[in-house]
């Protein structure tokens, strides 16, 4: 390794800066008052509840200080992803030292008084959380749930050629599955078009109560592991600060130069194909570095006991208070802060300036950089409806055309990507490949199709990576869509949860600017899993989504292509939300022309007059409601069955596109008013509701409505296997015959009059079962069924 350009003097300044960050970190965990330790430490200076995580913090501070030097010397454009986000005090300390914190929160000024407030607010009611969070300047990553740091880093780097993302990964986090897969992201990063990610694996050796796997792995094996992943690993190891500063500075000089070389050669066109050997750093430093070595005779520094609060009860225990006092004074605050409590000038000079400060880099507040997505007019893609239900169209294919042109329109902005686990083509979005490719940095064979180094479709068989990359991409101000098999979106349930939480908190912070919504297109859904079976049948993601705050989530179930076009277009234009779109990819009948689709979607639910038979009756005998493409088709088929069998029946058809319309206005901004809901669903007639997912959700959304007791929901009741499309609906009693039977049974006084009809319908179900068992396909009358309008 070449000698660093950094002088001993510079390193000693960096060491002091690091000590200042460590001092402020400890202060946040422990102190209510006496921030500069001008007075002897007394019980009342100490917080009654000691909360937070010290163990990882000095390492985070060490990296931050060294990255500051790189930024200053090279005018580098760097953001910092703090995987061990529970080291929140470190992130807060550093953004305070560089001045960002006080600019955003003027009340936390650069003074003794400000420092006291800085300390007090940490993990304090009404203050800030203990983790890096939306409240933390410079952060796009909450470290609460571990596993997503590196995918966020790559997501941020895509299409940001000048950006360098320094990503710290704790050795705890490195044990998670999502993180283990994230290392492969290097195979999707184009050195020409994208920025760089510098992974820094921070091995402090311990989790909460035991050693870490990688912490106990030899350097030899680690080197092989990361070379096997395709990186060039560099090691920085030790505990004595002075040589550690020198090693870190030298290593950073080398690795940043490597990154620049890779980029330059790629951009000059002098490299051959293949995945560049990007550098990464393995930093081994003691857990709780510079903290108490022992407490009560037990090992703390360099052990898991340093994980949270290394010395407890400093209010009540004088000995412990002495340990804290010694510890904090070991950083020599008078050497760091002036009489007013401001960082001394020679240390202030170590921080970058303006937007180069990692806490102030606009990429970490992506809304600042977000450019509106340019979208084409949806009418240009509409399906013409000459006869309702006649055209059999793959709705997602139509959306694919719209997405293709959206991709083209934003090619110059380079701020739109599609993410999915190897399912773009399977989900019928293949027309995207007319204008772009799958991104692929490994070898490309002559017979490969739609692969290139600069494609804008991101496919990897990891829903975690798709989600994490997209989150990083959105959080840095871009746009995207995640298309996924419906059942397997549950793989990222917890990531959705965390992102929704991030959005909820961000929306409450004026300085965080809106980012584009996270849009899911869930297709290959429960009702059409022809090649697979029960394992691929789960519509429950929307139940999870519906738990989140109403201002953050939307769920759409467009019944055909034109409604899907409206919904897709709408979702791509929203911000600070999670939008879930569930739509089929198989050929299905089309119902609404574009004008009708727009009007229907804008309200979110509506009566389909053309489908019902109520005419000008005062009220219908029954409301046949539906949400989802297959339930809509079965409902309309049931209406035809009913009107043919019992012509005098007054049937109303209601279709719901926007699931949140079912809630009341006080529960959700998209909710129908009670009056509108009652007008639509009546106050006393039976409602047979065919729903795409688990039936409970409809009850949960409507339990406050007047007519709730008469709403009878059919949906997925966990019956499934590899079978025919119609048989899936029969197994779950969502088919036309079951719906018609239930309607007859629920209309007061009807069933005894039409016993023959009920018998005929039950006969149809038997006939179906027999037919599919023999032929392995649905009866011709089912396969060839088409809608006809009532006369």
CA-CA distance, 561 to 594, in Å (whole number)? 9
Query: Cα separations (Å) of 254 from 196, 258, 357?
Result: 15, 6, 22
CB of residue 544 to a second copy, shortest distance in Å: 6
Residue 496's SS3 state is: helix
Identity of the residue, 233 or 612, whose beta carbon is nearer to a second copy in the bound complex: 233
Q: To which residue do tokens 């995918």 refer?
A: 151
Kindly state the tokens that stand for 179: 């993180």
CA-CA distance, 583 to 521, in Å (whole number)? 7
CB of residue 187 to a second copy, shortest distance in Å: 6
Order of strands, sheet of 163-170, starting from the edge strand that comes earlier in the sequence = 77-82, 163-170, 196-203, 279-284, 232-237
CB of residue 263 to a second copy, shortest distance in Å: 22
Identity of the residue, 6 or 204, whose beta carbon is nearer to a second copy in the bound complex: 204
Residue 82's SS3 state is: strand
For residue 479, give the DSSP letter: E
CB of residue 598 to a second copy, shortest distance in Å: 31
Read off φ and ψ for residue 317, nearest 5 degrees: -110, 115
Identity of the residue, 16 or 131, whose beta carbon is nearer to a second copy in the bound complex: 131
Identity of the residue, 4 or 462, whose beta carbon is nearer to a second copy in the bound complex: 462
Sequence-separated (6 or more) residues with CB below 8 Å from residue 326:
none
**Partners of residue 553 on adjacent β-strands:** 578
Q: Element (H or E) spanning 690, and its range?
A: strand 687-691
Q: To which residue do tokens 């006869």 refer?
A: 387
CA-CA distance, 660 to 700, in Å (whole number)? 11
Kindly state the tokens that stand for 136: 């933390």
Q: Using the CB atoms, write b or e for 747-784: b if 16+ within 10 Å.
A: beebeeebeebbeebeebbeebeebbeeeeebbeebee
Identity of the residue, 374 or 544, whose beta carbon is nearer to a second copy in the bound complex: 544
CA-CA distance, 513 to 365, in Å (whole number)? 7
Give the 3-state DSSP-derived string for 390-434, with helices as H, strands as E and coil as C: CCEEEHHHHHHHHHHHHHHHCCCCCCEEEEECCCCCCCCCHHHHH
Identity of the residue, 181 or 255, whose beta carbon is nearer to a second copy in the bound complex: 181
Residue (of 530, 543, 535) closest to 487 by Cα position? 535
CB of residue 59 to a second copy, shortest distance in Å: 17
Identity of the residue, 49 or 384, whose beta carbon is nearer to a second copy in the bound complex: 49
Identity of the residue, 216 or 371, whose beta carbon is nearer to a second copy in the bound complex: 216
Contact between 515 and 475 (Cβ < 8 Å): yes
CB of residue 631 to a second copy, shortest distance in Å: 17
Q: To which residue do tokens 């560099």 refer?
A: 234
CB of residue 543 to a second copy, shortest distance in Å: 6
CB of residue 56 to a second copy, shortest distance in Å: 13
CB of residue 282 to a second copy, shortest distance in Å: 12
Identity of the residue, 37 or 51, whose beta carbon is nearer to a second copy in the bound complex: 51
Identity of the residue, 435 or 645, whose beta carbon is nearer to a second copy in the bound complex: 435
Residue 517's SS3 state is: coil
CA-CA distance, 325 to 42, in Å (whole number)? 10
Identity of the residue, 178 or 191, whose beta carbon is nearer to a second copy in the bound complex: 178
CB of residue 284 to a second copy, shortest distance in Å: 14
CB of residue 300 to a second copy, shortest distance in Å: 11
User: How remote is the C-alpha of 676 from its chain's centroid?
Assistant: 34
């Amino acid at each position: 390794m070449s000698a660093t350009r950094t002088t001993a003097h510079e390193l000693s300044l960096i060491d002091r800066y690091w000590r200042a960050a460590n001092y402020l970190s400890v202060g946040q965990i422990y102190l209510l008052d006496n921030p500069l330790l001008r007075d002897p430490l007394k019980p009342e200076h100490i917080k009654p509840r000691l909360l937070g995580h010290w163990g990882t913090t000095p390492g985070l501070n060490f990296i931050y200080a060294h990255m500051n030097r790189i930024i200053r010397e090279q005018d580098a454009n760097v953001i910092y992803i703090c995987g061990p986000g529970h080291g929140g005090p470190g992130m807060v300390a550093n953004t305070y030292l560089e001045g960002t914190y006080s600019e955003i929160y003027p009340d936390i000024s650069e003074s003794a008084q400000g420092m006291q407030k800085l300390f007090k607010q940490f993990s304090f009611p009404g203050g800030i959380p203990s983790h890096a969070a939306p409240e933390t300047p410079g952060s796009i990553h909450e470290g609460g749930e571990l596993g997503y740091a590196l995918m966020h880093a790559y997501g941020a780097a895509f299409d940001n050629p000048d950006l360098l993302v320094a990503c710290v990964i704790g050795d705890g986090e490195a044990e998670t599955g999502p993180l283990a897969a994230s290392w492969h992201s290097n195979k999707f990063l184009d050195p020409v078009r994208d920025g760089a990610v510098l992974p820094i694996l921070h091995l402090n050796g311990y989790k909460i109560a035991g050693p870490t796997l990688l912490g106990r792995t030899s350097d030899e094996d680690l080197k092989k592991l990361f070379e096997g992943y395709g990186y060039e690993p560099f090691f920085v190891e030790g505990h004595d600060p002075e040589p550690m500063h020198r090693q870190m500075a030298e290593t950073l000089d080398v690795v940043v130069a490597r990154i620049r070389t890779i980029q330059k050669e790629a951009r000059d066109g002098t490299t051959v194909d293949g995945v560049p050997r990007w550098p990464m750093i393995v930093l081994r430093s003691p857990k709780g570095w510079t903290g108490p070595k022992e407490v009560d005779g037990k090992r703390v520094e360099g052990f898991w006991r340093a994980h949270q609060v290394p010395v407890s009860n400093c209010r009540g225990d004088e000995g412990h208070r002495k340990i804290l006092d010694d510890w904090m004074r070991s950083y020599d605050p008078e050497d760091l802060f002036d009489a007013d409590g401001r960082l001394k000038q020679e240390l202030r000079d170590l921080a970058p300036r303006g937007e180069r400060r990692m806490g102030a880099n606009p990429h970490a507040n992506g809304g600042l950089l977000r450019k509106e997505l340019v979208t084409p007019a949806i009418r240009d893609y509409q399906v013409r409806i000459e006869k309702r239900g006649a055209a059999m169209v793959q709705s997602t294919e139509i959306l694919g055309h719209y997405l293709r042109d959206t991709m083209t329109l934003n090619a110059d902005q380079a701020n739109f990507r599609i993410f999915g686990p190897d399912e773009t083509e399977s989900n019928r979005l293949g027309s995207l490949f007319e204008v772009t490719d799958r991104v692929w940095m490994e070898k490309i064979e002559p017979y490969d199709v739609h692969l290139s180094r600069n494609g804008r479709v991101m496919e990897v068989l990891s829903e975690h990576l798709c989600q994490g990359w997209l989150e990083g991409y959105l959080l840095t101000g871009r746009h995207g869509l995640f298309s996924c098999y419906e059942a397997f979106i549950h793989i990222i349930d917890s990531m959705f949860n965390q992102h929704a939480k991030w959005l909820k908190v961000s929306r409450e912070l004026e300085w965080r600017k809106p980012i584009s919504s996270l849009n899911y297109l869930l297709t290959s859904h429960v009702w059409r899993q022809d090649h697979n079976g029960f394992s691929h049948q789960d519509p429950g993601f929307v139940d999870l989504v519906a738990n989140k705050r109403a201002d953050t989530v939307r769920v759409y179930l467009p019944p055909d292509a034109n409604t899907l076009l409206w919904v897709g277009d709408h979702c791509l234009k929203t911000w600070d939300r999670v939008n879930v779109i569930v739509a089929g990819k198989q050929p299905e009948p089309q119902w609404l022309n574009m004008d009708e689709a727009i009007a229907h979607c804008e309200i979110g639910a509506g009566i389909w007059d053309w489908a019902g038979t109520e005419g000008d009756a005062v009220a219908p005998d029954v409301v046949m409601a539906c949400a989802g493409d297959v339930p809509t088709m079965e409902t309309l088929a049931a209406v035809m069955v009913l009107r043919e069998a019992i012509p005098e029946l007054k049937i109303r058809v209601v279709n719901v596109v926007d699931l949140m319309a079912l809630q009341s206005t006080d529960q959700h901004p998209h909710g129908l008013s009670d009056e509108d809901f009652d007008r639509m669903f009546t106050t006393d007639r039976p409602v047979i509701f065919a729903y795409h997912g688990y039936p409970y959700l409809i009850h949960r959304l409507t339990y406050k409505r007047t007519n709730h007791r008469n709403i009878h929901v059919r949906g997925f009741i966990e019956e499934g296997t590899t079978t025919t499309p119609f048989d899936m609906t029969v197994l779950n009693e969502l088919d036309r015959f079951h719906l018609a039977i239930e309607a007859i049974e629920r209309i007061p006084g009807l069933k005894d009059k039409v016993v023959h009809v009920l018998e005929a319908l039950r006969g149809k179900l038997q006939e179906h079962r027999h037919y599919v068992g023999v032929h392995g396909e649905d009866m011709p009358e089912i396969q060839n069924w088409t809608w006809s309008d009532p006369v």
